[in-house]
Amino acid sequence: MAILVCGGAGYIGSHTVKELVNTYDVVVLDNLTTGFEQLIDSKATFVKGDLGDPAILDEIFTTHDIDAVFHFAANSLVGESVQNPLKYYRNNVSATLVLLEKMIEHGVKRFIFSSTAATYGIPDTDMITEKTTTNPINPYGRSKLMIEQILADLAHVHDFQYVVLRYFNAAGAHESGEIGESHDPESHLIPIVLQHLLGQRDKIAVFGTDYETADGTCVRDYIHVTDLARAHILSYEGMASGKITNKTYNLGNGAGYSVKEIIETCEQISGKKATIEYAERRAGDPAALVASSQKINEELGWKPAFDLNTIISNAWAWHSK
Ligand code: UDP
């Protein structure tokens, strides 16, 4: 039995592959548009291609005994999704439909889906649970919620089961220092701050200082990428053992940190001082997004192993390399 990881050359996908290969045969499908081949663990079988390509999926599903698909392959930039919605509906929705059709055709019945806090939009609560109303405010969040709804419809009529994982702010790098966060161009806070502290950027911009938060900057829930990876494996094993089926879980630390607090922690860990420019709010940013992950804790025993200091220390080690 093998696991197909779509998007296994990307940030969260590659960290999950690194955990999976210890126990399972892994096939990675990635078109390398945003991923990097060198992030894929050498123990995995790599197929370069598009998950919207039915012929490649036929080939994978006939040559490997795939028991589950972990689906990370997506575009994930909120701002870009507003500017180019068709790209998001094509890559995140249409291509996923091809994958799901081929899974059903080949009798592959377990699916772990990378979803996002962006499905909640601007929540009216400080602590988001899975029962918090979903109301995405951009095409990225909508594209993910559409697939969530499609999964529920499929599970209703097919021999098919799924777990949806709604990530909050994925951050950090593998403890080995071998793989870490890499986007081109980079838009995420922690890598931008660390690149600046390494002298690769002149300054950093803080987007908005007038939010209704303790220090006026946005609050997010940062979760170590290895904790995310382990949640995928627990979800798969929970389904395979019959313990759970058709679930949606939040993945976060349950603690919020402001943009200013993140910068301060990066300064402490690196021993360097940042040059900060206070800028306008970035479009589409909610003031605070903090997750309750109580449900996956109660049902699968998952809880984050890494705190913010470890997240940033691991990221600093990776970026410094
Ligand atoms: N942010 C910032 N400056 C940057 C990048 C991000 O102030 O150069 C802020 C951003 O507005 C948000 C938080 O940092 O409030 C986290 O942003 P990121 O893009 O890392 O993740 P998101 O929450 O958008 O998924």
Q: Say if ligand 1 is within 6 A of residue 259 CB.
A: yes
Average pLDDT taken over every residue of the chain: 96
* pLDDT of 153 over the 90 cut: yes
Query: From the CA of 207, how far away is ligand 1's center (Å)?
Result: 7
Verify whether residue 140 is a known catalytic residue: yes
Q: What is the pLDDT of residue 154?
A: 98
Q: Whose CA is nearest to atom 16 of ligand 1?
A: 189
Query: From the CA of 148, how far away is ligand 1's center (Å)?
Result: 25
Measured CA to CA, the distance from residue 180 to residue 88 in angstroms comes to 24
All CATH 3.90.25.10 domain ranges of the chain, comma separated, are 189-221+253-320
Average pLDDT (1-29) is 97
- Residue of 144, 212, 220, 312 best suited for mutating to test ligand 1, as the one with most atoms within 8 Å of CB: 220
* pLDDT of 186 over the 80 cut: yes
* 188-235 per-position pLDDT tens digit: 999 999 999 999 999 999 999 999 999 999 999 999 999 999 999 999
DSSP per-residue codes, 146-192: HHHHHHHHHHHHSS-EEEEEEE-EEE---TTSS-----SS---HHHH
* pLDDT of 29 over the 90 cut: yes
Measured CA to CA, the distance from residue 69 to residue 6 in angstroms comes to 7
Q: What is the pLDDT of residue 126?
A: 83
Query: From the CA of 73, how far away is ligand 1's center (Å)?
Result: 21
CATH code of 189-221+253-320, in short, is 3.90.25.10
* pLDDT of 107 over the 90 cut: yes
Q: What is the pLDDT of residue 78?
A: 87
Q: Percent of the chain, pLDDT > 70?
A: 100
Q: What is the pLDDT of residue 285?
A: 85
All CATH 3.40.50.720 domain ranges of the chain, comma separated, are 2-171+223-251
Q: Which two tokens stand for residue 321?
A: 């390399």
Atom of ligand 1 nearest to the CA of 259: 14
- Which residue in 140, 211, 222, 249 is the catalytic one? 140
* pLDDT of 284 over the 80 cut: no
* 49-97 per-position pLDDT tens digit: 999 999 999 999 999 999 999 999 999 998 899 999 999 999 999 999 9
* 32-43 per-position pLDDT tens digit: 999 999 999 999
Q: What is the pLDDT of residue 162?
A: 98
Q: What is the pLDDT of residue 62?
A: 98
Asked if 213 and 258 touch (Cβ cutoff 8 Å), the reply is: yes
- Non-local (6+) Cβ contacts of 82 within 8 A are 138, 139, 283, 284
* Confidence band for 295, pLDDT divided at 50, 70 and 90: very high
Atom of ligand 1 nearest to the CA of 116: 25
Of residues 78 and 270, the one with the higher pLDDT is 270
Q: What is the pLDDT of residue 239?
A: 98
The single-letter DSSP state of residue 117 is G
Query: From the CA of 88, how far away is ligand 1's center (Å)?
Result: 20
Asked if 270 and 124 touch (Cβ cutoff 8 Å), the reply is: no
Q: What is the pLDDT of residue 290?
A: 97
Average pLDDT (237-264) is 98
pTM of the model: 0.97
CATH code of 2-171+223-251, in short, is 3.40.50.720
Q: Whose CA is nearest to atom 6 of ligand 1?
A: 189
Of residues 275 and 184, the one with the higher pLDDT is 275
Measured CA to CA, the distance from residue 259 to residue 216 in angstroms comes to 9
Atom of ligand 1 nearest to the CA of 289: 23
* Confidence band for 24, pLDDT divided at 50, 70 and 90: very high
* Confidence band for 243, pLDDT divided at 50, 70 and 90: very high
Atom of ligand 1 nearest to the CA of 192: 8
